[in-house]
Structure 1
Amino acid sequence: MTTPAGTVLAPLAARYASWLALPADQTNQVETEPELVRAMPVILRIERDPAPARTPLLEAAAAAAVAVCLDPRAEPEGEWHEPVSAWVAGHIRKVSRRARGAHWQAAQGFPGVTVEVDGASARALVPGLVVETPKEISRLQISGSDLPADEPGAVADGVPVLWLNPAVPLTAGKAAAQVGHASMLLAALLDEPDIKTWAGIGFRCAVRMPTRDQWAALHPGDDPAGAWQNRRVIAVRDAGFTEVTPGTVTVLAQWRA
């Protein structure tokens, strides 16, 4: 059987290098008609007390996003295949929303995957047309999803690292969308054995903030193919609709086998 990475995520892998090469002012070109815009809702569980730690919440969001795409239900004969493939074929927009209490529980009733990391939970829903977002989801707030910086421990062996740009401050909501893009791009470029290895640990990711020197050393620059081949690093370049300017590289994802 062909793996989901070879089917649903294939368009993403095919356009990766060309996306990085676009002039900055062309990175935010998406569907001109609002009714055609598709997005994946990413629901962040942010209770008042206790509030989740920022890093585990981002790690949960990254794992949940890729888990939806590599779920058996996203395979060609699966019930999620059509909406997931239609979304991946265009701009992989994500909308992070926060929920607590009964609203968080209500979100569990919509198709998607919930991941918990060290007490922090995020649920990525099957993407769809933004204009058709269920009211139970669309009423969840987008703003107010920031959390204070924390100090995560050492990265476990065999876990990919998603490095946040140290020069670009992001709210937790924006960062959750960006690390979700990173985990998807990483999965799109991996081969089947690596996908199986990653699936075996629940698509666990480590989210970390590098020094500026570390970021510069990892950055693909103008050689994305070489960066992937030699350093197993890919870059997420944002379209610039919220918080950052178009063309900003927000995350570097590094595969560590």
Structure 2
Amino acid sequence: MSSEQTPAVDAPGAASAPGDGPSQDGPSQDSPFRDGRTARDEAPQFVLPLVVRIERAAPPARTDALETAARAVLVVLSDERSLGEGEWARAMRDWQDARIRKVVRRARGAEWRRAEALPGITVTGSAENAAEVRVFPPVPLDGWPKDLARLQVSGTDLDDPEPPAPADPAAPVLWLSPDLDMSAGKAMAQAGHGAQLAWWELSDEERAAWRAAGFPLAVRTAEPGRWAELVASGLPVVRDAGFTEIAPGSCTVVADHPALRRGAAA
């Protein structure tokens, strides 16, 4: 379930608020989401750890885990501890000044209880046997807390017992590529990347409204015939750096937020 990869954004959009992420006025040669080497690679590298709870007897559904991971990223981005002079703000700035990396690990039993004891936020899904994902403030690539470093990044895949319901067209949707076969962990990280891109491109008012609503969103696989249209729509696109599982430059997620559709259509 390793998901330590760096996607690239290849879609224009509104500029971010100062300090909340890179400007998306167009593809930047120094973008944290470009798969080629940039000046950001010279900065100290950090990673955002996410841990999904997967008990042997009752694993969560795949789609619920993906959606919960995406919401977890939004929750930590908007948390007061991540902003201004908050206790996580410096780590969040350092992480966003370099490559934007996320790694998903799995835990069960005592492993999960040890992870819960570390500073972070647990986000719970909405399905039966709801997914639980704990997100932590960014850590150096080589400076993981011991109780997180020992967790596995591979070995467990997740399935949906039944096909997920159609996405609400009035709500944000993170569209996954129908052409790629990604492990649950990689797909969770990619969904988190897509949610982060949408967050960066929203206005302060739009962010506040999304947060107040509890960050509703869906993660769905796009229909093959619609995928090319989504990629070319002007909505934010996640492109993978190819460190794990898939080829460099592969489009993995399109972030389709209602507030961004208007700008993409224009």
| Superposed displacement of residue 137, structure 1 | 0.1
Q: In structure 1, list runs of 5 or more residues that go unmatched.
A: 221-226
Following superposition, the deviation at residue 30 of structure 1 comes to: 6.4
What residue number does 2:152 align with? 141
Residue 40 of structure 1: aligned partner: 48
Preserved contact between residue 168 and residue 250 of structure 1 (Cα < 8 Å):
yes
Q: What SS is found at the alignment partner of 1:6?
A: coil
Cα deviation per residue 1:18-69 (whole Å; 9 max; x = unaligned)?
36999x8626996379xx3310111111111111100000000000012111
8 Å CA contact 2:29–2:38 kept in 1: the answer is no
**What CA RMSD, in Å, does the superposition of the two structures yield over aligned residues?**
2.5
Provide, for residues 158-197 of structure 1, a one-character-per-residue CA deviation record: whole Å limited to 9, x for no partner.
4210011100110000001111111111000001121111
What are the within-5 Å matches in structure 2 for residues 2-81 of structure 1? Answer: 6-11=17-22, 13-14=23-24, 17-18=27-28, 26=36, 31=41, 36-81=44-89
Matches within 5 A, 1:1-257: 6-11=17-22, 13-14=23-24, 17-18=27-28, 26=36, 31=41, 36-117=44-125, 118=127, 119-149=130-160, 150-156=162-168, 158-220=170-232, 227-228=233-234, 233-256=235-258
Q: Partner letter of residue 58 of structure 1?
A: L
Higher percent of residues as helix: 1
How many corresponding residue pairs?
Answer: 239
Give the TM-score taking structure 1 as reference length: 0.85
Letter in 2 for 1:190: L
Three-state SS of the structure 2 residue aligned to 1:26 is coil
Deviation at 1:16, TM superposition (A): 6.0
For structure 2, the residue ranges without an aligned partner over 5 or more in a row are: 1-15, 260-266
CA shift for structure 1 position 111: 2.4
Corresponding letter in the other structure for 1:31: D
Normalised by the length of structure 2, the TM-score is: 0.82
Q: Distance in 2 between matches of 1:137 and 1:126?
A: 12
**Amino acid in structure 2 at the alignment position of 1:249:** C
Contact 2:24–2:201 (CA under 8 A) maintained in structure 1? no
The structure 1 segments of at least 4 consecutive aligned residues displaced by more than 4 Å after TM superposition are 19-22, 27-30
Residues in 1 aligned to 2:191 and 2:29: alpha-carbon distance in whole angstroms: 17
Residue 246 of structure 1, CA deviation: 1.2
- The Cα of 1:154 is off from its aligned counterpart by 2.8
Q: What amino acid maps onto 1:122 in structure 2?
A: V
The one-letter amino acid of 2:87's match is E
Q: Aligned with 1:52: secondary structure?
A: coil
Separation (CA, whole Å) in 1 of partners of 2:98 and 2:122:
24
